Amino acid sequence: MKKTGAVLVIIALLGVVAWLGIAFRDLRIRRLEAVERRVRLPETHLVDLKEAPVLLRADGRQSVVLVFFTTTCEYCRAELRAFSEKSMLFKEHEVFFVAWEEPAALQSFAGETGVAAVPWFRVLRDTASVLGDTLGIAIVPTTFVYGPDGRLRDTFEGIAAIERIAAAARGEESL
């Protein structure tokens, strides 16, 4: 009886290990696929806070900075305030703050953090989180910096130094 119980426990443990291995492999594959999709800025349509469509693409003249955030994230709040305070660093670049929440919440958050007052910043909605899913956003804030050619220059997950993001937008090496 004890041997049968021990065998069943071992079989159960092996099953759990096999299941975890498969789950880990699938997660790793999804993350690698997202990394591959990040290499070039995907051309996609998002909407602004007035529900007008906005084509997101590299224009060949300016770097594109994408900042994914949520209104409930305190790190996002701090990062957006830092962007607002150092907005002059980004005057020559396209800067988009992207979330998938309702317009009223985003408008309030953008006003509170100061990004709504900066004319060269735009707050966009990824209404069905299509872009976020394509790029594999796992945490917020996450910032992508694409060069004028649409190629990824740098990625920042979590709160980042605004000066490092601006340096990446200018095409300089990150520290």
Tokens of 53: 């469509």
Report yes or no on 26 lying in a domain: no
Residue 6's pLDDT band, with cuts at 50, 70 and 90, is confident
pLDDT (0 to 100) of residue 37: 61
Residue 106 lies in domain: 39-170
Helix (H, G, I), strand (E, B) or coil at 56: strand
d(CA 84, CA 142): 17
pLDDT (0 to 100) of residue 31: 54
| Contact (Cβ atoms closer than 8 angstroms) between residue 114 and residue 85 | yes
CATH number at residue 113: 3.40.30.10
Report yes or no on 19 lying in a domain: no
Q: Give pLDDT tens digits for 92-133.
A: 999 999 999 999 999 999 999 999 999 999 999 998 889 999
Residue 87's pLDDT band, with cuts at 50, 70 and 90, is very high
Report yes or no on 34 lying in a domain: no
Report yes or no on 83 lying in a domain: yes
Report yes or no on 12 lying in a domain: no
Angle formed by the axes of helices 162-170 and 74-85, nearest 10°: 60
Report yes or no on 3 lying in a domain: no
pLDDT (0 to 100) of residue 13: 73
* pTM, 2 dp: 0.80
Q: Is 88's pLDDT higher than 60? A: yes
